[in-house]
Amino acid sequence: MEQKVNDFLERQPVGTLMKKYAVPCVISLLVAALYNIVDQLFIANADYLGSYGNAANTVVFPMTVIALAIAVMIGDGCCAFVSICLGAGRRDDAHKSIGSAVLLCVISSIMLAAVYLILQEPILTLFGGRVNEETFAHSKEYFFWISLGIPFYMFGQAMNPIIRSDGSPKFAMISTLVGAALNIILDPIFIFICKWGMMGAAVATVLGQVLTAIMAVWYLCHMKAVKLETASFRVHSQLARKYLALGVTSFLSQISLVAAMAAINNMIQKYSALDPIFGQVNYAQIPMAVVGIVMKFFQIVISIAVGTAAGCIPIVGYNIGAGRKDRVRSLFIRLLSVEAIVGAIALFIVELFPHQLINLFGAANESIYYTQFAIKSFRIYLCMMIFATVNKGTFIFLQSLGKAAASIAISLVREVVFGVGFALLLPRFFGLDGVLYSMPVSDILTFLIAAVIIVQTNRELTGRHEMLSEKI
């Protein structure tokens, strides 16, 4: 029998492994989230951009999430599948899956960038870019340069979890960190010194993404547990179907945010026009800018929740392949505890310090209406963060168990049925406040479903003969 690689995943204490894998994964995802947030921080504090630039950033943000959704579907799915393969000693499937994932990422990223460049104005209009003319002009400028960097962004994000599956979570973290550091250095230079405006923010972001992609290419040439061959780089359709199925949950968790933002942005545009304050042309961009900021904070928290769970994927996959359900159950309990703590800390921050949060995004340069709406938005929109983080951890853990169908079904209910449905429905009764209520209502209802799944999964992991995963 072929000797297993990465067998330390079966031997070391699960708490130690969770720290080793989850912490770098959390940092990597946080840094990825900070790319867009850092842009918004500097844009908000540039007096010649302000809330117009902030609103433009909010309009373009869903398009970067679409790119991320495709990348993580490929990367997270491949990571889970490769980990299971390594645990079962199937090295041939592992290297072919990685080579196939590289090809799929390159092809899909180039196609997406072309679509963005060709259909720029219709896409921006769909996501509420025409709230006023100045916002639309900033959106076009920012979107053009961001579109040019899409292939580099997707490649770096897709390879990150694959690098973790090879047993190098620290390198995956460092490759993302150096790109983000470059972005942080260049943003103030391009925005405040060169006065390049939205173009400067976008170019700084793209250059950071290029650096991360270059480091990912280097690692692929120096992998440890998996050795890539010329035969690896083909679209192995049978393997691709298996790992893409495992990555669909990651895809849905991101793409649903796009659907929700499209619904939210359009509801904001519609009901702002009916508001006595935000119906005025000088204030029309404020709700969109503010909700975008609140969603960015939410993305930071969810990045921690997702990173904690995604970091466990190689550990869970390997131990499932090795038949160690006892270790998987222990990890599941630890994961849910950490997710609840993350949500509780986030809730404490948004409820007690919303004024301080919005001050980071240029509140001093804006009207009092900007600050007032922001405080209300933070406190209402994010009031069920504990449920949100636990829900997300549950979805991803099911994915790591190989339960693709169950994970996909629950994600669809949360992100599409509830997330989009309530974003469209509640504003009809509560106006702009209805947009804010849509988030906590969705999280409460989803948790009721997740609680049942948590109990059932715990029972399966406790029993001796139950089948944990679908056929991989």
Mean pLDDT of 50-60: 84
Instruction: Give domain status of residue 5, yes or no.
Output: no
Is residue 363 over pLDDT 70? no
Q: Which pLDDT tens digit goes with each residue over 144-177?
A: 999 999 999 999 999 988 888 787 888 988 898 8
CA dist 254 and 272 (Å) reads 26
Closest CA to 156 of 99, 106, 222, 82: 106
Confidence (pLDDT) at 469: 42
Instruction: Give domain status of residue 2, yes or no.
Output: no
Q: Which pLDDT tens digit goes with each residue over 336-357?
A: 999 999 999 999 999 999 999 8
Most confident of 193-197, 361-365, 412-416, 458-462: 193-197
Q: 150, exposed or middle or buried, with CB in 10 Å at 0-12, 13-18, 19+?
A: buried
Question: Domains in the chain: how many in total?
Answer: 1
CA dist 408 and 451 (Å) reads 16
Is residue 29 over pLDDT 50? yes
Instruction: Give domain status of residue 257, yes or no.
Output: yes
Spatial contact of 293 and 358, defined as CB atoms under 8 Å apart:
yes
Confidence (pLDDT) at 187: 93
Confidence (pLDDT) at 5: 54
- Residue 90's domain comprises 12-462
Instruction: Give domain status of residue 331, yes or no.
Output: yes
Instruction: Give domain status of residue 418, yes or no.
Output: yes
Instruction: Give domain status of residue 471, yes or no.
Output: no
Instruction: Give domain status of residue 88, yes or no.
Output: yes
Confidence (pLDDT) at 354: 92
Helix 150-165 with 50-87: angle, nearest 10 deg: 30
Q: Which residue has the higher pLDDT, 333 or 110?
A: 110
Instruction: Give domain status of residue 368, yes or no.
Output: yes
Mean pLDDT of 42-55: 82
CA dist 90 and 6 (Å) reads 12
